[in-house]
Chain A
Amino acid sequence: MYEFNYQKAGSVADAAAKVAGADDGTLMAGGMTLIPTLKQRLAMPSDVVDIGQLADLQGISVAGGKVSIGSMTTHDTVANSADVKGAIPALTVLASGIGDPMVRNRGTMGGSVANNDPAADYPGAVLGLGATVVTDKREIAGDDFFTGMFETALDEGEIITRIDFPVPTKAAYTKFPNPASRYAIVGVFVAQTADGVRVAVTGAGGTAFRATEMEAALNANFSPSALDGISVSADGLNKDIHASAEYRAHLIGVMAKRAVAACG
Chain B
Amino acid sequence: MASVSMTINGKQVSGEVEGRTLLVEFLREHQRLTGTHVGCDTTQCGACTIHMNGEAVKSCTMLAVQADSAEVSTIEGLANGDELHPMQEAFREHHGLQCGFCTPGMIMSATALAKRNPSPSEADVRHWLEGNLCRCTGYHNIVKAVMAGARAMNA
Contacts and interface: CB of A to CB of B under 8 A. Distances in A.
A31 interface: yes
Interface stretch (A3-11, A127-135, A158-166, A220-228): A3-11
Contact of B19 (A39, A48, A99): A48
Contacts of A5: 19
Contacts of A1: 20
B16 to A, nearest CB: 13
Contact of A31 (B41, B42, B61, B112): B61
A15 to B, nearest CB: 15
B57 A3 contact: no
Nearest to B2: A6
A102 B131 contact: yes
Interface string A1-45: 111111010000000000000000000000110011011000000
A105 B46 CA distance: 13
Say whether chain A's binding surface is mostly helix, strand, loop, or mixed.
mixed
B131 A101 contact: yes
Interface in B77-126: 109, 112-113
Interface string A52-73: 1000000000000000000000
A99 B46 CA distance: 12
A32 B43 CA distance: 8
Interface string A160-189: 000000000000000000001110000000
Contacts of B37: none
A106 B56 CA distance: 9
A106 B122 CA distance: 25
Nearest to A80: B116
A102 B66 contact: no
A99 B42 CA distance: 13
Interface string B1-19: 0100000000000000011
B71 interface: no
A6 B109 contact: no
Given A39-B41, A181-B44, A182-B130, A31 B63 contact: yes
A180 B45 CA distance: 10
Interface in A217-251: none
B130 A31 contact: no
B80 to A, nearest CB: 25
Interface in B12-46: 18-20, 22, 41-44, 46
A3 B63 CA distance: 12
B123 to A, nearest CB: 14
A151 to B, nearest CB: 23
Interface string B51-85: 00001111001110110000000000000000000
Given A32-B43, A36-B42, A105 B19 contact: no
Given A8-B65, A102-B58, 4 more contacts: A5-B19, A31-B62, A35-B61, A182-B130
Question: Which 10 pairs show the lowest CB-CB distances between chains A and B?
Answer: A100-B131, A6-B19, A100-B130, A1-B20, A105-B55, A102-B58, A35-B61, A102-B131, A102-B56, A6-B65
Interface of A: 1-6, 8, 31-32, 35-36, 38-39, 48, 50, 52, 76, 99-103, 105-106, 180-182
